[in-house]
A and B are shown apart, each in its own frame.
Chain A
Amino acid sequence: NAGVTQTPKFQVLKTGQSMTLQCAQDMNHEYMSWYRQDPGMGLRLIHYSVGAGITDQGEVPNGYNVSRSTTEDFPLRLLSAAPSQTSVYFCASSRLPGLAGEGNEQFFGPGTRLTVL
Chain B
Amino acid sequence: SQQGEEDPQALSIQEGENATMNCSYKTSINNLQWYRQNSGRGLVHLILIRSNEREKHSGRLRVTLDTSKKSSSLLITASRAADTASYFCATPSQGGKLIFGQGTELSVKP
Contact = CB atoms under 8 A, between A and B. Distances in A.
Interface of A: 4, 31, 33, 35, 40-43, 45, 48, 50, 56, 58-59, 90, 92, 94, 96-97, 100-111
Interface in B52-96: 52, 88, 90, 92, 95-96
Given A42-B88, A103-B48, A105-B48, A48 B97 contact: yes
B102 interface: yes
Contacts of B99: 45, 59
Contact of A42 (B45, B50, B100): B100
Contacts of B35: 106
Given A42-B102, A102-B31, A111 B42 contact: yes
Closest 10 pairs (CB-CB, A-B): A108-B42, A42-B102, A101-B30, A103-B31, A43-B100, A101-B50, A103-B48, A105-B45, A108-B43, A101-B31
A71 to B, nearest CB: 15
A51 B41 CA distance: 26
A42 B2 contact: yes
A106 B98 contact: yes
Contact of B96 (A4, A41, A43, A50): A50
Contact of B52 (A33, A42, A101): A101
B75 to A, nearest CB: 20
Contacts of B97: 33, 45, 48, 58
Nearest to A56: B95
Contacts of B98: 33, 45, 104, 106
Contacts of B41: 110-111
Contacts of B90: 106
